[in-house]
Amino acid sequence: MFTVFRRELSQLVRLASPLLAAQVFTTGMGVVDTVMSGNYHADDLAAVAVGNSIWLPIYLFLCGLMIASTSMVARYHGARQPQQIVETVQQSLWLAMLVAALAMVLLCNVEPLLRLMQAEERLIGISSDYLAAVAVGAPGAALFASLRAFSEGMGRTYPFMFASLLAFLLNIPLNYALIYGQWGMPELGGAGCGWATAFSLWVQALVVLAYTSKPARYDQVRWHTGMGWPHPSRIWAIARLGVPIALAVFAEVSIFSVIALMLVPLGTLAVASHQIALSTSYLIFMLPLSLAQALTIRVGYFLGQQRQGHANAVAITGVVASILLALISMSLLLLFRHTVVDWYTTDPEVHLLAAGLFVWMACYQLPDHIQVSCNAILRGYQDTRVPLGLVLICYWLIALPLGYGAGVAGWFGEPMAAAGFWLALLVGLTGSCLLLGGRLLWLARQPLRPHA
């Protein structure tokens, strides 16, 4: 058993490491946008932030949708069914392009939404220009997401890393040139970030397109040969598997935005301390998320080979690895919470509140790491609708109302402000961990179902 654990852990690390690096580069692009637009003008920084809050959920929905393709490709790869892989990739590309087309319509007509939000006129203008520019990159994002899913499903995660690195490196001079009007480029301010993002999305797409078009790198699978027309039944199969994943990703991300809005009436200190804890939490979450993506690939591959016992061994390895990662994260958060908070603020009141939130954050690392691994394994099993329901219950029906009661309404005495919401997140994530873990234990004992 230890030999299997060591071998599979090595494979998971091999798959997850490039995914982690790619996430770091992608996050770095957002940091560059924030810093450069902020140095240009505060209005442009605010406009880019508002625009990104509209674009990011769309992009995450697209990526979540394509996780279904990753799972299906991994299974067909294990089953040695190259023609099924080709059909899945081609039809997932059609689906991604449909989402991109709808996104372009929304992004180019966002002004009524911004007016509904009662945004200032200057902010509306800059945000609209930013999103119109990003819309040009939406088809590139669709191409990139679908081919990334193919590559990862085949067990090749390095192309995603290289494409993200190149996009990150190009994004810096592009932002500089287009925001400030350097090197003969027009001075576009915050809208320049949108054009830099669009260009970077197309660069990522073309890099992955060039790499995946070499059949020798993908066991002679020629996904681009004989590109077929859309097949509604195949697209529906991908969407049926992928939409619950995309909605689950959206539910997990959006709850933090809702919490931030609920904290606004409690004042700047509550919002600022929450934002510091949230930013740190996002950085830490890259580790279990990368491991989870590797688990979906590896579990799907062995299920495609009809080796359910080995797939379950991979699942055990992944959960144990996630527990070890969680214990390391907990220790580092508790030991260095004051040091990390010092990076964000010099205000003693904000520091005190944020450091207190880090204790709650440390407590929920264990259930959070386990639940994200269990959810990823279930995706490898192509089980997505029930997990979506469980996530919605734990986050939106338990954690959010409990957070409001503890943080704002004072159900348990004095309102705890941000700490009440983070306590509620601990409860919700623990519930999600138990329910998803129970679902996985049940499913792992069932006869293997035929894949989609």
Handedness of CA 302, 306, 308, 313 (dihedral sign): negative
Scanning 79-137, the segments in alpha helix (DSSP H) are 82-107, 111-116, 121-136
Rounded Cα–Cα distance for residues 195 and 106 (Å): 17
Rounded Cα–Cα distance for residues 363 and 329 (Å): 10
Residue 41: per-residue pLDDT: 78
Residue 377: per-residue pLDDT: 97
Rounded Cα–Cα distance for residues 211 and 95 (Å): 21
Looking at residue 341, its amino acid is: V
CA–CA distance from 405 to each of 151, 204, 357, 416 (Å)? 45, 44, 17, 9
C-alpha angle 257-388-424 in degrees, rounded to nearest 5: 45
Arithmetic mean of pLDDT, 348-354:
88
Nearest to 374 by CA among 409, 428, 322, 310: 322
| Per-residue pLDDT tens over the stretch 90-110 | 999 999 999 999 999 999 998
Arithmetic mean of pLDDT, 369-375:
96
Residue 181: per-residue pLDDT: 87
Residues 6+ apart with CB under 8 A from 129: 188, 190, 191, 194
| Structure tokens given for 130 | 């930013």
pTM: 0.89
Arithmetic mean of pLDDT, 355-376:
94
Residues 6+ apart with CB under 8 A from 328: none
372 neighbors 292 (Cβ within 8 angstroms): yes
Residue 257: pLDDT over 80: no
Residue 1: per-residue pLDDT: 63
| Region of poorest pLDDT, from 107-116, 147-156, 267-276 | 267-276
Arithmetic mean of pLDDT, 99-127:
85
Nearest to 193 by CA among 422, 380, 31: 31
| Structure tokens given for 188 | 């576009």
Mean pLDDT of the chain, nearest integer: 89
Highest-scoring range by mean pLDDT, 26-30, 38-42, 67-71, 446-450: 67-71
61 neighbors 288 (Cβ within 8 angstroms): no
Task: Burial-class residue 10 by CB neighbours within 10 Å (0-12, 13-18, 19+).
Answer: exposed
Reported as a pLDDT band with limits 50, 70 and 90, residue 215 is confident
Residue 452: per-residue pLDDT: 47
Arithmetic mean of pLDDT, 184-201:
88
| Per-residue pLDDT tens over the stretch 265-309 | 777 788 788 878 887 888 899 999 999 999 999 999 999 999 999
Residue 416: per-residue pLDDT: 86
Arithmetic mean of pLDDT, 182-187:
84
**What are the φ/ψ torsions at residue 84 (nearest 5 degrees)?**
-65, -35
Greater confidence (409 vs 173) lies with 173
Secondary structure percentages of the chain, helix, strand, coil, to 5: 85, 0, 15
What does the CA dihedral 222, 227, 231, 233 come to, rounded to 10 degrees? 10
C-alpha angle 72-204-255 in degrees, rounded to nearest 5: 65
